[in-house]
Amino acid sequence: MIRRLVVLALLIGGAILLEPLRSPTEGVIAPRSLFLFGILLLTADTFGALAHDVGLPRLVGYLVAGLALGPSVSGIVPSGVLEDMGTMKRLAIGLIGLLAGAELRVADLRLRRRAVGWILVMQTGLVLAALVAVTLALRSWIPFLATLPGPAVFSVALLFSVVLTVNSPMVTLALLTETRARGPVARTTLGVVLVADVVVIFLFTVAFSLAQARLGGDSTSALAALIRLLREVFGSLLAGVVIGGIVSLYLRFVKRELVVFAVVVVFATAAAAQALHFELLLSLLTAGFLVENVAPVRAEPLVATLHLTAVPVFVIFFAMAGAELRVQEFASLWGVVLVVVVVRAAAIYAGSGIGARYAGAEEVVVRYAWTGLVSQAGVALGLAAVLAERLPGVGVAMQTLMIGVIAVNESVGPILFRRGLSRAGEIAVEQPLACRDSAH
């Protein structure tokens, strides 16, 4: 580990001293972007190992490494590099989506459908109500609400709250892969977060339409926005069905070079998603679900391959997510951010416990399932970006506060979930998510 830290320090020092690497470039991915991206991944891998050594989830180390090297702190990895390497993040999101879908098995959902359903309903409903209430109560301290006319305040508060109701399948899957946790808490939490994201996307569609109408758009524009968003959701599901069919046929007749095939599928889907305006993560999650549950025997090699690629994929995603966090957003509104974070966590705790107890779930699910529902990551950030793009002015201000809340939840959530899994007795053998140093 000491040798790795020394090498890492030399590389970072070289990145700082070699000024030509910071000069802007155009066209294809610049060599300096590849170099700095490599440093980011190596740093994240090292920080992940250090986090593991002190009893924290590895992905916390990945996030800290990204934040430390990103534009908000040292600036060693500037925004231009993150933009250049956006393709790598889309690849990571796509592969995680495939793996997450494949992990959602009908047999598990059928076995735990009552617990998943009640926890989903109660925690979503209670979190949404609590966030709307606290947002309205703090209206005077929230910039994008303080200046709005009365009729628009509730609609915008509802939209803000819907986005922050989102959980994180990425974090859940990363923790379950790292710890190899198996048990009622792990399976119930995974089912809830995967189904909840689909539900929240539908809620987002309705809330966005209402907010746009109240902010001065006419009924035609609101209806057009609603139709467009619904088309994106259903288009994503349809695309997932098509991709699932293609993957199933490949697994049946070819069954070779599965890593290359998975990468090609993700890139092709990403290109199609950009051209046809559907959601990459939702479509590949649907595809993975169909492949696993329609042809589970044929899906086994692909699922095993995706688990093998989980190491670099999680490093890429969480290192870049950490680098994209903006400390300034938290600093300027830290009081409001902390209040929203605490209220959200308390509502998740209460809603999850009530839902699990009503469903007759195991006591460990009642006590610890909530810990896996606190984290937020890619989906929440994606919805915040949609608001910034489609609601100029108000949307940008909403995104600023959302990023502060998401940053805290993204950092604290994995620690809570790992603690919950440990106390539930579901962590048996840990699966390293970082590449081992050959010297070890």
51, 61 in Cβ contact below 8 A? yes
* 3-state secondary structure at position 88: helix
pLDDT band at 24 (very low <50, low <70, confident <90, very high): very low
DSSP string, 350-372: HHHHHHHHHTT--HHHHHHGGGG
Residue 77 forms part of a structural domain: no
Look at residue 389 in the predicted model and tell me its pLDDT: 72
Distance from C-alpha of 206 to C-alpha of 306, rounded to nearest angstrom: 35
Residue 348, pLDDT > 90, answer yes
- In single-letter form, the type of residue at position 150 comes to G
Name the residue with higher pLDDT: 231 or 336. 336
Distance from C-alpha of 395 to C-alpha of 389, rounded to nearest angstrom: 7
Residue 95 forms part of a structural domain: yes
Number of domains in the chain: 1
Residue 440 forms part of a structural domain: no
Residue 55, pLDDT > 90, answer no
| Average pLDDT value for residue range 317-323 | 80
CA separation, residue 381 to residues 163, 165, 385, 407 (Å): 9, 12, 6, 10
pLDDT band at 350 (very low <50, low <70, confident <90, very high): very high
Look at residue 229 in the predicted model and tell me its pLDDT: 67
264, 94 in Cβ contact below 8 A? no
Question: Hey, which of 27-41, 124-138, 220-234 has the most confident mean pLDDT?
Answer: 124-138
Residue 436, pLDDT > 80, answer no
Residue 17, pLDDT > 90, answer no
**H/E run at residue 104:** none
Distance from C-alpha of 266 to C-alpha of 280, rounded to nearest angstrom: 8
Which residue is listed with tokens 């994606």? 382
Residue 350 forms part of a structural domain: yes
How many Cβ atoms sit within 10 Å of the Cβ of residue 178? 25
Residue 431, pLDDT > 90, answer no
Distance from C-alpha of 272 to C-alpha of 381, rounded to nearest angstrom: 21
Fill in the DSSP letter of residue 139.
G
pLDDT band at 430 (very low <50, low <70, confident <90, very high): very low
* 3-state secondary structure at position 342: helix
Angle in degrees, CA 166, 170, 176, rounded to 5: 120
User: Which among 64, 62, 77 has a CA at the least distance from the CA of 312?
Assistant: 62
Name the residue with higher pLDDT: 197 or 368. 368
DSSP string, 213-255: HHTT--HHHHHHHHHHHHHHHHHHHHHHHHHHHHHHHHHHHT-
Q: For the segment 378-419, what is each residue's pLDDT rounded down to a tens digit?
A: 677 777 777 777 777 787 778 778 888 888 888 888 889 989
Look at residue 435 in the predicted model and tell me its pLDDT: 43
Q: How large is the C-alpha radius of gyration of the chain?
A: 21
Residue 25 forms part of a structural domain: no
pLDDT band at 434 (very low <50, low <70, confident <90, very high): very low
181, 175 in Cβ contact below 8 A? yes
Name the residue with higher pLDDT: 2 or 136. 136
Find the CATH number of the domain harbouring 345: 1.20.1530.20
Count of alpha carbons within 13 Å of 104, Cβ hemisphere only?
A: 26
Which pair of tokens denotes residue 409?
A: 């939840």
Residue 130 forms part of a structural domain: yes
Distance from C-alpha of 130 to C-alpha of 346, rounded to nearest angstrom: 9
Look at residue 4 in the predicted model and tell me its pLDDT: 58
Residue 280, pLDDT > 90, answer no
Residue 21, pLDDT > 50, answer no
Residue 30 forms part of a structural domain: no
Q: Which domain holds residue 347?
A: 87-423
Residue 432 forms part of a structural domain: no
* 3-state secondary structure at position 126: helix
Distance from C-alpha of 44 to C-alpha of 31, rounded to nearest angstrom: 20
Strands (E), 246-396: none
Q: For the segment 81-104, what is each residue's pLDDT rounded down to a tens digit?
A: 777 777 777 788 788 788 877 777
| Average pLDDT value for residue range 54-63 | 81
User: Which among 411, 312, 322 has a CA at the least distance from the CA of 42?
Assistant: 312
Residue 133, pLDDT > 80, answer yes
Buried b (16+ CB within 10 A) or exposed e, 25-45: eeeeebebbebbbebbbbbbb
Distance from C-alpha of 288 to C-alpha of 309, rounded to nearest angstrom: 15
Q: For the segment 196-211, what is each residue's pLDDT rounded down to a tens digit?
A: 877 887 788 778 877 8
